[in-house]
Structure 1
Amino acid sequence: MTEEYSNFYMEKELLSPYHHIQQVKGKQMRIKIILAFNHWLQVPEDKLQYSLEVFNLLHNGGLLIDDIQDDSVVRRGLPAAHCVYGLPLTINASLHVFLLAMDKLYHMNPKAGKICSEHYLDVIRGQGLELYWREKFVCPTEEEYEDMVHRKTGAAFLMVVRTLQLFSENKTDYAEFIRILGKYYQIRDDYCNLTQQEALEEWPNAEDTDAKEECFCEDLTEGKFSLPIIHSLKTQEGGQILSILRQRTRDDEVKRRCVSLLEKAGSLEYTRQVLRDLDRAARAELSRLNGNPLMEAVLNDLLSWQDQKKSRECSG
């Protein structure tokens, strides 16, 4: 947080929840994706760094609210900010950070502020759909789920690229690649949350901290209708899976049972196949866009949801 944001004498104290979440950086995959897009866009370094700072504010400010909405007790291996600073200050800090980010965008370029407000509204709508389904315990169709993903994740990536293009001579339309990448990114997150938590972006690196047991299969504790869950409800195991999801359990044995049922139902394999297809589609679109070594490296990193042998088979 730089001094230019505000000279308000209590700024540091009011933003304590934000600084708390900044202590551990996670895997920084979103930063890698932005830098990969910049391989195409070639935005001047000062504008790029300024933009990265703004996007970091938006992302981490959003995580403060996400953890409250999901009743999460851990983020990146640390106690969630609201567990340390309480709900009122954490909610206020999230709004505070969002408005700081918007202020910086408008100072950078008024069009950047307009782009952000337009796409971030889509992000909020996507998040709202996911919360609505969870709180009302209504299972969406796969088509509805994909629309939510396009808003929640795809719109965030589109916001970044359109903002950077304000400072680039490259005005190429990357919407199709972003659509595929956003879908891949979110479904991968859904899958890893249930099967391979260490591959999650928000899972702390080993040198940062030891991950806490509370992180295990958090989506089941939240009662989230992720793609494997949605698919499973059309199978014989769906009734028991739905019953477990309704409990929002924190019991690891019950969660392991649910994951076992998802495997038995074929829902995890179905999700793996979707991920393989999306990886191939992303690489095909990347080739159509004349390639990008940094983005190819991102796609290779995203293959960490697989074991080494399967990764070679998929990318080969």
Structure 2
Amino acid sequence: MTEEHSNFYMEKELLSPYHHIQQVKGKQMRIKIILAFNHWLQVPEDKLQYSLEVFNLLHNGGLLIDDIQDDSVVRRGMPAAHCVYGLPLTINASLHVFLLAMDKLYHMNPKAGKICSEHYLDVIRGQGLELYWRDKFVCPTEEEYEDMVHRKTGAAFLMVVRTLQLFSENKTDYAEFIRILGKYYQIRDDYCNLTQQEALEEWPNAEDTDAKEACFCEDLTEGKFSLPIIHSLKTKEGGQILSILRQRTRDDEVKRRCVSLLEKAGSLEYTRQVLRDLDRAARAELSRLNGNPLMEAVLNDLLSWQDQKKSRECSG
């Protein structure tokens, strides 16, 4: 943070929504992935920590807007920031944090700022596609969905690696591995959102019934066209599933019915097979890149999608 920023007397108050969301601790999978890439890149510790601080600003600043766009009232059992601080201040805090991150990137290396702006624009485009399909109630094809994932998730990972490579002697092209990892990460996240029934009992604030109901199968309440939904629309159960999705229901029984229909349609099994294939592809590419024990550990952690009891670990 620049001296001008650090001396601004209202900085803490203006960033209250950001500090609020920082209290919500997930499994920190994104941090593990960055550290795994650094096993290859060997970036000096001071540059690595500085970069992690910037990526944390971008990620959490983005979550502030995500929760508004998705009309989420909770995040991992805690009230969403905009429900506590209101929409205007939360939107302002997200913009504030993003510009602080950009300032840090340009301070670190002007090329880092250019890399960030290039790839983060792709992230925003990917997010925009998902919102357009949801709000216009337009079901994308699987190919269109994969393109969205490549932009929304893959571009974020590519941004991280290209930034770190500015401070590394390792200039290996990891684009193919990142493409596979980004697709795996996002589809896994979507799958876990729909298969977390048993995990709700293990969430923080589990006694808060309203919070639990809001967290259960959030993607159905949002009306999100995830891979299982897209696949299901080709089956005879698709009409019922589409009808439930259109309602954006908060009724747990209706959402359970939708999940059972997705299972009956073979759409959850189809998604599981996609995840198995992506896991194999990621490990094959990892082997081609001469291996990485930290990245192998990440892939092992990501396999928690196979156990519903671990599904609360799916958010990174």
Give TM class, smaller chain.
Answer: over 0.9
User: Is contact 2:304–2:310 with CA below 8 Å preserved after alignment?
Assistant: no
User: Is contact 1:154–1:181 with CA below 8 Å preserved after alignment?
Assistant: yes
- Deviation at 1:5? 4.3
Aligned mates of 2:131, 2:314 — CA distance in 1: 33
Instruction: Write out per-residue CA displacement over residues 147-166 of structure 1, whole angstroms, 9 at most, x where no aligned residue.
Output: 00000000000000000000
User: Is contact 1:77–1:210 with CA below 8 Å preserved after alignment?
Assistant: no
Q: Could you tell which deviates more after superposition, 204-213 or 265-274?
A: 204-213
- Deviation at 1:214? 1.2
- Greater than 6 Å deviation, 4+ residue runs: 1-4, 197-211, 308-316
Q: Could you tell which deviates more after superposition, 43-52 or 208-217?
A: 208-217
Q: Alignment partner of 1:148: what SS?
A: helix
Aligned mates of 1:85, 1:61 — CA distance in 2: 14
Aligned mates of 2:261, 2:147 — CA distance in 1: 26
Say if 1:123 and 1:308 are closer, same or farther in 2 by CA, change over 3 A: closer
User: Is contact 1:26–1:203 with CA below 8 Å preserved after alignment?
Assistant: no
Say if 1:203 and 1:294 are closer, same or farther in 2 by CA, change over 3 A: farther
- Deviation at 1:24? 2.1
Say if 1:146 and 1:172 are closer, same or farther in 2 by CA, change over 3 A: same
Q: Could you tell which deviates more after superposition, 2-11 or 303-312?
A: 303-312
Please state if 1:133 is matched with 2:133: yes
- Deviation at 1:77? 1.3
Q: Could you tell which deviates more after superposition, 188-197 or 61-70?
A: 188-197
- Deviation at 1:76? 2.0
Q: Alignment partner of 1:290: what SS?
A: coil
User: Is contact 2:77–2:205 with CA below 8 Å preserved after alignment?
Assistant: no
- Deviation at 1:292? 0.3
Say if 1:65 and 1:313 are closer, same or farther in 2 by CA, change over 3 A: closer
User: Is contact 1:17–1:82 with CA below 8 Å preserved after alignment?
Assistant: yes
User: Is contact 1:58–1:98 with CA below 8 Å preserved after alignment?
Assistant: yes
Please state if 1:53 is matched with 2:89: no
- Deviation at 1:195? 0.3
Please state if 1:143 is matched with 2:153: no
Aligned mates of 2:277, 2:200 — CA distance in 1: 20
User: Is contact 2:125–2:151 with CA below 8 Å preserved after alignment?
Assistant: yes
- Deviation at 1:70? 0.2
User: Is contact 1:220–1:255 with CA below 8 Å preserved after alignment?
Assistant: yes
User: Is contact 2:231–2:267 with CA below 8 Å preserved after alignment?
Assistant: yes
Instruction: Write out per-residue CA displacement over residues 220-245 of structure 1, whole angstroms, 9 at most, x where no aligned residue.
Output: 00000000000000000000000000
Aligned mates of 1:59, 1:209 — CA distance in 2: 28
Q: TM-score, normalised by structure 2?
A: 0.93
- Deviation at 1:6? 2.6
Aligned mates of 2:111, 2:260 — CA distance in 1: 49
- Deviation at 1:309? 12
User: Is contact 2:57–2:101 with CA below 8 Å preserved after alignment?
Assistant: yes
Q: Alignment partner of 1:35: what SS?
A: helix
Question: Which residue of 2 is the match for residue 13 of structure 1?
Answer: 13
Instruction: Write out per-residue CA displacement over residues 52-104 of structure 1, whole angstroms, 9 at most, x where no aligned residue.
Output: 00000000000000000000000121000000000000000000000000000
Say if 1:103 and 1:187 are closer, same or farther in 2 by CA, change over 3 A: same
Structure 1 spans left out of the alignment, 5+ residues: none
Say if 1:145 and 1:202 are closer, same or farther in 2 by CA, change over 3 A: farther
User: Is contact 1:199–1:304 with CA below 8 Å preserved after alignment?
Assistant: no
Aligned mates of 2:253, 2:285 — CA distance in 1: 41
Aligned mates of 1:314, 1:185 — CA distance in 2: 9
Say if 1:204 and 1:30 are closer, same or farther in 2 by CA, change over 3 A: farther
Aligned mates of 1:128, 1:239 — CA distance in 2: 26
- Deviation at 1:307? 2.7
Say if 1:309 and 1:224 are closer, same or farther in 2 by CA, change over 3 A: closer
Aligned length: 316
Question: Which residue of 2 is the match for residue 206 of structure 1?
Answer: 206
- Deviation at 1:313? 20
Q: TM-score, normalised by structure 1?
A: 0.93
- Deviation at 1:212? 2.8
Say if 1:295 and 1:274 are closer, same or farther in 2 by CA, change over 3 A: same
Aligned mates of 2:107, 2:193 — CA distance in 1: 38
Say if 1:122 and 1:164 are closer, same or farther in 2 by CA, change over 3 A: same
Instruction: Write out per-residue CA displacement over residues 153-188 of structure 1, whole angstroms, 9 at most, x where no aligned residue.
Output: 000000000000000000000000000000000000
User: Is contact 1:196–1:305 with CA below 8 Å preserved after alignment?
Assistant: no
Aligned mates of 1:101, 1:244 — CA distance in 2: 40
Question: Which residue of 2 is the match for residue 245 of structure 1?
Answer: 245
User: Is contact 2:177–2:286 with CA below 8 Å preserved after alignment?
Assistant: yes
Aligned mates of 1:289, 1:20 — CA distance in 2: 39
- Deviation at 1:203? 7.3
Say if 1:155 and 1:206 are closer, same or farther in 2 by CA, change over 3 A: farther
Say if 1:298 and 1:19 are closer, same or farther in 2 by CA, change over 3 A: same
